[in-house]
């Protein structure tokens, strides 16, 4: 398993969420990230999910 990081920012640039979680692969990380965003109501905020090697798995601006 690899450790992925999900971050969410407000329009003003304030960090709203910074959470790491384990996933088997990029697809699983993307699905888990989207679920976490939906639970917190952050789907429409600027967000990104990054793989351990700094690749973007999920991004919304």
**Domain limits of the chain?**
2-60
Q: Where are the beta strands (DSSP E) in the chain?
A: 2-9, 15-23, 46-50, 56-60
pLDDT at position 46 is 97
pLDDT at position 49 is 98
- Its pTM stands at 0.92
What is the side-by-side strand order in the sheet with 56-60? 15-23, 2-9, 46-50, 56-60
In our burial notation (b when 16+ CB lie closer than 10 A, e otherwise), range 9-33 reads beeeeeeeeeeebebeebebbbebb
Instruction: Give residue-wise pLDDT tens across range 18-45.
Output: 999 999 999 999 999 999 999 999 999 9
Contact 28, 34 (CB under 8 A): no
């Amino acid at each position: 398993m690899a450790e992925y990081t999900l971050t969410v920012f407000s329009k003003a640039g304030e960090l709203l969420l910074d959470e790491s979680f384990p996933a088997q692969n990029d697809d699983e990380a993307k699905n888990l990230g989207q679920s976490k965003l939906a639970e917190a109501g952050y789907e429409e905020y600027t967000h990104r999910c990054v793989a351990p090697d700094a690749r973007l798995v999920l991004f919304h601006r």
